[in-house]
Structure 1
């Protein structure tokens, strides 16, 4: 057992932050060998019970903050080298940068190189779980899963399905793409900490036959994830309407093919109407809110007020490479701006605790992994970060003046980046 003494942030079941300025976090292996949180709380209340046990290692981290590892609900690992590419909008950005780059991932050696860098970049930024797109090439999935498994990370990923409206090099074959998907599910889903996601890129790049086949796989393998994009961009919505004239809405296309259920995650979800939001809520599908990407591509604003009224699930995501940073702090910064703007300029001032929850325990809940990851309550897998609130002169000055938890968290959200992450610890298995 390892005992950490530091400040500690975690979350109650209702999403409220629980904070101890002088805390004990006890971590030990369960019966399967997986490292889990055994105890978390006040040092004064818990120390006598735990530190005298045989074989205990006590690690003192004065001035630091232990917090749950961040959960990124939507990211494209093959776009690691596309981040920061200039483009006037979503569709030209795909055509000029993304598709040409993704065509290289048929080469396993090339895919391995990107996957290794990508995984290290996630960990450097404090991200311990991600829901990731690969490319249309099966080798790209093998690469990311292998890299995650080597690091004992919880990773959910899938081969992209896109059998139309896509250039040579990334377009797959309808039948073969579905065959490859099922092979990859059986190869990787449930192995160690890995999960598979059935991954239509977005409705315009899949035929009805491919979407129907994806829905059939989703029904057959009910515990795998589903991921795609929806309602990100007005031009994209108009395109979907032309391609699927019988569908009530863009989101309804996925529902029509059996692709909305628990563990289904739809990136962006900006231009939804009330019927769409109720569909998200009733199916327990979730939105991956990608604020830096939405700002970068000028796509629009996620409407937090209406999402909360409809009680739909959502969490934060970087959306690299459309997103501008791997850092959860940059994502939370942008989410605060998006929340203030809203659709009708009736935004809300998202609290620092809520922003942090959206990127940890809230995202875990949206993924169907509440109580497993994204938190540091007893029983959770021991994924956490060691944060140094004094990592820069300005942060040191500002956080020293914090009078309460909100002021401490908000200072780090607004002024922080990857330098805040002193160490990232993932739940190893013996």
Structure 2
């Protein structure tokens, strides 16, 4: 039998969406908790005083004083080829793509380069406590192979896909409708469902794909069970007008994807800043998801995402960093910015709702909440240890906190990669902060 391992610290995880069950019923917390892991999955969670006595003799117990264990963070929209261009001087979306993104992605046809960046990218994710992400590759098959190879070594639950882009981009970055379909199909056969890996059909966004390519992308999306579709939607007003010009026969941006069979369960649309009511309703009724990317939307001046409106139509919402348009790999920093986005709209973001968005909400958006997203027994043991003494300021601020809510909020405002003491994937340490 596999040897159990136990981890002792304060434990906090989401049980449900606070919007649906209320704040108090949405989470479970143990001030002095014990997380028992066996064969890469959560075996038990509860109060340390109750569980320690029942552990099998010889069970290794790792103690984390002054720390909080939460589920691993889930990033529902990020671009790994853009790691090297994060923090490039601001432009609006379309200029930013042409000035920074496309030239950077050119190099990913080189497998060695792609492999080097994949390593940097994954180390950054894990250093920030993110254990699952929905990831854009580049247009090159090599970029996806390199990424999945790096994930497989670490036994990570990750989703990625080759970008489809056959127009309105530099010639060095375009494929064709037919080659994009064939290359994607080969990658799906090689990687989808292998270990903890999943594939996403990935048209960059409607303007960079012809109707023919979108049709074949939709065909591909329907050909394999549990496949994902990952693209952008209604991020920028100039982009939306461009879509209207390119697809005058369609009634809106979302309708372009809908017409080509790219909407449904496991379809994830990044941004959705400027969605109309009809689009929200369609997303909700089809089980699609939207990735809320606050740092990116503020950095590129795209606008303020209306979380309450979108969720009001039953749309699944996860949190995305959108690196490199985003400004940090840290989901704590994303929640910092998400709070401000809500404040600017005269609305609030409760810290327990923030926890939900970064963990169980992201898992639900990706239809993975039966496997990850919280620490319920039977779930995969992906979790992060947050350090209450990560910085002098965090330490001082938390010493003043009198409630769990206050502690959690302070961590989301002041926390970043320094707050991540250790990250675990399937019960194995994949990042440990240097002392």
Measured against the shorter chain, the TM-score band is over 0.9
**What secondary structure does 2:118 align onto?**
helix
Bigger CA drift: 14-23 or 97-106? 14-23
Q: Which of the residues 268, 280, 289 maps onto 1:277?
A: 280
SS in 1 for 2:171: coil
Match of 2:336 in 1: 333
- What does residue 378 of structure 2 align with? 379
2:390 — aligned with what?
391
CA offsets, 1:386-409, max 9 Å, x none? Answer: 111111111101112211111001
2:319 — aligned with what? 316
2:153 is the counterpart of 1:150: yes
TM superposition shift of 1:54 = 3.3
Report if the CA contact (8 A) 1:364-1:373 is conserved.
yes
* Whole-angstrom CA distance in 2 between matches of 1:413 and 1:11: 15
Q: What secondary structure does 2:214 align onto?
A: helix
**Which string of whole-angstrom CA distances, capped at 9 and with x for unpartnered residues, describes residues 279-312 of structure 1?**
1101100000000000000000110121132121
* Distance in structure 2 (CA, Å) of the matches to 1:415 and 1:24: 26
Superposed structure 1 runs of 4+ greater than 6 Å apart: none
Q: Report how far residue 18 of structure 1 moved.
A: 1.2
Q: Partner residue of 1:57?
A: 60
What corresponds to 1:24 in structure 2? 34
CA contact (8 A) 2:77 2:291 kept: yes
- TM superposition shift of 1:373: 1.1
Judge conservation of contact 2:17–2:356 (CA < 8 Å) in 1: no
Q: Which of 247, 251, 255 lines up with 2:254 in the alignment?
A: 251
Give the 5 Å matches for 1:95-244: 95-244=98-247
Other structure's SS at 1:80 match: helix
* TM-score (normalizing by structure 2): 0.94
Tell me the SS of whatever aligns to 2:405: helix
1:267 paired residue among 270, 278, 286: 270
| Aligned mates of 2:394, 2:90 — CA distance in 1 | 33
How do residues 343-354 of structure 1 correspond to structure 2 at under 5 angstroms?
Answer: 347-354=346-353
Please give the alpha-carbon distance, in whole angstroms, between the structure 2 residues aligned to 1:238 and 1:13. Answer: 38
Is 2:30 the partner of 1:46? Answer: no
| Cα displacement string for residues 94-128 of structure 1 (whole angstroms, at most 9, x for unaligned residues) | 00110011011011011111001111111111010
Query: Secondary structure at 1:81's aligned position in 2?
Result: helix
1:59: Cα distance to partner? Answer: 1.4
Equivalent-residue separation in structure 1 for 2:230 and 2:311 (angstroms): 21
Cα offset for 1:48? 2.1
The residue that corresponds to 1:32 in the other structure is none
Contact persistence 1:152–1:428 (CA under 8 A): no
Residues matched between the structures, number: 418
Deviations 1:187-225 (A, max 9, x none): 000001110000000000000000000101111113111
- Name the CA distance, whole Å, in 1 between partners of 2:293 and 2:263: 20
Secondary structure of the residue aligned to 2:173 is coil
Q: Give distance in 2, aligned partners of 1:88 and 1:13.
A: 38
> RMSD value over aligned CA atoms?
1.1
Change (3 A) 1:291 1:257: same
The question of whether the paired residues in 1 share the 8 Å contact of 2:41 and 2:427 is answered with no
What's the CA shift string for 1:341-382, capped at 9, x where partnerless? Answer: 23xxxx321001111110111100010001311211111100
Shift of 1:428: 5.6
Task: Spell out, residue by residue over 1:329-352, the C-alpha distance to the aligned partner (whole angstroms, 9 max, x if none).
Answer: 11000110111223xxxx321001
- The offset of 1:55, in angstroms, is 3.8
1:40–1:378 CA contact under 8 A, matched in 2: yes
Cα contact 1:229–1:267 (8 A) shared by 2: yes
- 1:3 match: 6
TM (normalized to structure 1)?
0.95
Cα separation, 1, equivalents of 2:16 and 2:236: 34
- Report the CA distance between 1:141 and its aligned residue: 0.3
